Amino acid sequence: MIGTIDRTYECQRCGVAYIWTIGEQLAAGGVQPLPRLCPACAHLLPPVGRERGLVKWYNARRGYGFISRPQGEELFFHRSALPADAGPIGPDLLVEYGIEHTEKGPQAAEVKVLPA
């Protein structure tokens, strides 16, 4: 049921109290579970099953490169994982990606360039 007042919750990630407004409750249709993350954490975290990292390097001529993962590991990616409209890819570009397990090990899949 949709509430008739703004509600206050505590973010399960950062512990900050935030308000779930009547408008947000209406937009959610009042049927989804209570928000667990404040708007800032929800915006900063990648969707479930995806990660974010920085392009370490990319060779456009050969069509592959590596992404530096948050854990410090490097992850291979191929140009086929990039959208057609990706634009130039270079070092320190923030990307979001899924993980695909291949015979050669894990590699980035469905790489999406994020705005700076």
Give the pair of three-digit tokens for residue 29.
């249709």
Burial of residue 22 (CB within 10 Å: 0-12, 13-18, 19+) is middle
Query: In the prediction, which pLDDT does 21 show?
Result: 78
Is 83's pLDDT higher than 80?
yes
First to last CA, the chain: 38
Tell how strand 74-78 and strand 64-68 pair up: antiparallel
Is 100's pLDDT higher than 70?
yes
| Residue from 35, 30, 114 nearest 67 by CA | 114
Domain boundaries, the chain: 7-44, 51-113
The helix (run of H) or strand (run of E) holding residue 7 is strand 7-10
In three-state secondary structure terms, 18 is strand
What tens digit of pLDDT does each residue of 52-72 get?
999 999 999 999 999 999 888
Is 26's pLDDT higher than 80?
no
Query: In the prediction, which pLDDT does 27 show?
Result: 75
- Yes or no: say if 66 and 75 are a contact pair by the CB < 8 Å rule: yes
CATH 3.90.1200.10 matches 51-113: no
